[in-house]
C-alpha cells in the first residue's frame, strides 16, 4: 500500500477514535462531525488507491459510488453526510436526540472503515 494511502486511512482511524472520545464526553456535535470525517477519509484513501487521486468533496454517497461501496452502506452514508452540515454550522436547524443519532453514526463510520480496510 502506498504511503499516502496509509496516511489517509490512519487519519480516518484517528478521527473515529476522537469521535468515540467526544461521544463519551457528550460532545455530540463534534462526534458527529468526526464520524463523517472518518468515513470520508477512509473512502478517500480507497479512492486514492484505485484512481491515484483525491476528490475534494464531502459527499459520502458520491465518494462511496466512486469506490464501489455496497448499497446498504451507501444508504447509511447518506444520513452521515448530513452530519457535516449540522455539526458545523450554527444556522442549521437544531437536531433533537442528537446523542441517539450520533451513536448510530459511530456504528456506520466503523462499518465503512472496516469495509474500506478490506478493500485496501
Residue 86: per-residue pLDDT: 63
pLDDT tens over the chain, length 120 residues? 899 999 999 999 999 999 999 999 999 989 999 999 999 999 999 999 999 999 999 999 999 999 999 999 999 999 999 877 666 666 767 777 889 999 999 999 999 999 999 999
Burial of residue 80 (number of CB atoms within 10 Å: 0-12, 13-18, 19+): buried
Number of domains in the chain: 1
Q: Give the cell for residue 103.
A: 451513536
The CATH number for 81's domain is 1.20.120.330
First to last CA, the chain: 7
Burial class (CB in 10 A: 0-12, 13-18, 19+), 72: exposed
Look at residue 64 in the predicted model and tell me its pLDDT: 98
Q: Which residues, other chains included, contact 58 with Cβ-Cβ below 8 Å and sequence gap of 6+?
A: 36, 40, 81, 84
Question: Which pLDDT belongs to residue 87?
Answer: 65
Alpha helices in the chain (DSSP H): 3-24, 28-51, 60-67, 71-86, 98-119
Residue 15, pLDDT score: 98
In this structure, what are the phi and psi dihedrals at residue 58, rounded to the nearest 5 degrees? -115, 0
Q: pTM for this one? A: 0.93
Q: Domain range for residue 10? A: 3-119
Amino acid at each position: 500500500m502506498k504511503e499516502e494511502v496509509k496516511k489517509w486511512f490512519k487519519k480516518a482511524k484517528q478521527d473515529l477514535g476522537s469521535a468515540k472520545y467526544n461521544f463519551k464526553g457528550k460532545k455530540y456535535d463534534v462526534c458527529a462531525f468526526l464520524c463523517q470525517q472518518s468515513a470520508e477519509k477512509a473512502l478517500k484513501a480507497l479512492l486514492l488507491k484505485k484512481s491515484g487521486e483525491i476528490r475534494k468533496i464531502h459527499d459520502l454517497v458520491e465518494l462511496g459510488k466512486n469506490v464501489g461501496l455496497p448499497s446498504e452502506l451507501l444508504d447509511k452514508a447518506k444520513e452521515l453526510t448530513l452530519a457535516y452540515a449540522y455539526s458545523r454550522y450554527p444556522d442549521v436547524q437544531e437536531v433533537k436526540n442528537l446523542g441517539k443519532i450520533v451513536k448510530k453514526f459511530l456504528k456506520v463510520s466503523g462499518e465503512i472503515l472496516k469495509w474500506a480496510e478490506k478493500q485496501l
